[in-house]
């Protein structure tokens, strides 16, 4: 697992990193196994316009995916966009064979890919090594604010002058992130039944829940309510189940701290031009599709209430 070069190993930090990796190892296996879910992720990053870049900006470039995980969609998208070399970095080594195999299944050889075990907070690369550095959904899972700042400066250090750093930070505000997620995370940690349910959640469990509701309605009111199994399985699909696990199982979720002001400050202090906000409308088929417009249109009053400023995704050019 990760080695921290800070002298004394902080066991708490070590355990938290180990647990984070374990959670994502399992989640990412589900991403690659489910075609719909995998395609949704792939579509999200296939469009250079989303990154405020052109296809030319990717051609032949040397890129780093810091906190790559083992779901492979990002690497596939980058190869399709024509990058020259991808360095994939994550904690420990267990993810490497899973990522390799997933890429091989898509006909992608190891020729352009390097697999590196390491921490975003202590990158084993020279200064100015990469044309574009990506860190998607990683910083919020680090141990504390100091580690996030350290990681940000490491990501900046390895980005070459004139190159780009892209980060995804989450929604730093609104009811969902300020109240709802912290409360289900607390309940997950204190209630064993809820923990077991979330750890083993599948679309079939939602069907079972709806069946029991319909039985209850019939028993109490005589009402013959109907529901369509297929619809329930679509609304609460594997994508939704892994989303629930994503929110609850990981030890750290420092999303509120990483607000717009903090993100701007981090970019500027680390030698970048003003960051540009990237925005994408995520097309889904499950229940979250009804939340997508709210997630996207942050000028809508309901959106601000639920999601604050919306998902913060930035790209910036190093001076
Ligand atoms: C939400 S997943 C994102 C994975 C991938 N970037 C994506 O967009 O699908 C977070 C990833 O960050 C990794 N991670 C967490 N802390 C890390 C650290 N200190 N250094 C490197 N990777 C880390 C986890 O192991 C996990 O694979």
User: pLDDT tens digits for 109-148?
Assistant: 999 999 999 999 999 999 999 999 999 999 999 999 999 9
Q: Whose CA is nearest to atom 26 of ligand 1?
A: 69
Give this prediction's pTM.
0.93
Q: How far is the CA of 317 from the centre of ligand 1 (A)?
A: 22
Beta bridge partners of 272: 318
What pLDDT is stored for residue 10 in this prediction?
A: 77
142 pocket-lining for ligand 1 (C-beta < 6 Å)? yes
Quick check: 2 pLDDT over 50?
A: no
120 pocket-lining for ligand 1 (C-beta < 6 Å)? yes
Higher pLDDT, 298 or 102: 102
* Tokens, residue 158: 């390895």
172 pocket-lining for ligand 1 (C-beta < 6 Å)? no
**Mean pLDDT value of segment 92-109:** 95
Q: Is 288 left (phi over 0), alpha (psi -120 to 50) or beta?
A: alpha
What pLDDT is stored for residue 9 in this prediction?
A: 59
308 pocket-lining for ligand 1 (C-beta < 6 Å)? no
Q: Where are the domains of the chain?
A: 11-172+252-283+309-317
* Tokens, residue 84: 């020259």
Longest dimension (CA), the chain: 71
Task: Please give the CATH topology (third level) of the domain spanning 11-172+252-283+309-317.
Answer: Rossmann fold (3.40.50)
Helix axes 238-249, 192-199, angle to 10 degrees: 140
Q: Whose CA is nearest to atom 16 of ligand 1?
A: 142
């Amino acid at each position: 697992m990760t080695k921290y070069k800070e002298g004394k190993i902080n066991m708490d930090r070590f355990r938290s990193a180990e647990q984070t990796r374990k959670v994502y190892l399992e989640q990412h296996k589900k991403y690659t196994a489910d075609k719909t879910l995998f395609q949704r992720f792939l579509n999200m990053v296939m469009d250079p316009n989303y990154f405020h870049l052109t296809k030319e900006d990717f051609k032949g470039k040397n890129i780093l995916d810091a906190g790559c995980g083992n779901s492979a969609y990002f690497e596939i998208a980058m190869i399709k966009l024509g990058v020259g070399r991808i360095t994939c970095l994550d904690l420990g080594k267990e993810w490497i064979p899973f990522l390799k195999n997933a890429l091989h299944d898509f006909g992608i050889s190891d020729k352009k890919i390097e697999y590196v075990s390491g921490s975003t907070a202590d990158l084993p690369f020279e200064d100015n090594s990469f044309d574009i550095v990506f860190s998607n959904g990683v910083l919020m899972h680090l141990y504390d604010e100091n580690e996030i700042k350290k990681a940000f400066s490491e990501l900046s250090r390895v980005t070459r002058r004139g190159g780009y750093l892209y980060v995804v930070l989450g929604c730093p505000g609104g009811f969902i992130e300020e109240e709802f997620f912290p409360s289900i995370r607390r309940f997950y940690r204190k209630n064993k039944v809820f923990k077991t349910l979330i750890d083993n959640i599948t679309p079939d469990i939602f069907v079972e829940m709806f069946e029991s509701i319909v039985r209850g309605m019939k028993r109490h009111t005589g009402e013959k309510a109907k529901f369509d199994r297929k619809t329930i399985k679509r609304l609460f699909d594997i994508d939704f189940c892994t989303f629930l696990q994503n929110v609850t199982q990981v030890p750290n979720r420092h999303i509120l701290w990483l607000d717009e002001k903090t993100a701007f400050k981090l970019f500027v202090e680390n030698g970048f031009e003003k960051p540009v906000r990237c925005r994408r409308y995520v097309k889904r088929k499950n229940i979250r599709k009804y939340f997508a417009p709210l997630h996207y249109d942050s000028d809508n009053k309901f959106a601000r209430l639920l999601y604050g400023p919306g998902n913060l995704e930035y790209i910036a050019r190093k001076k």
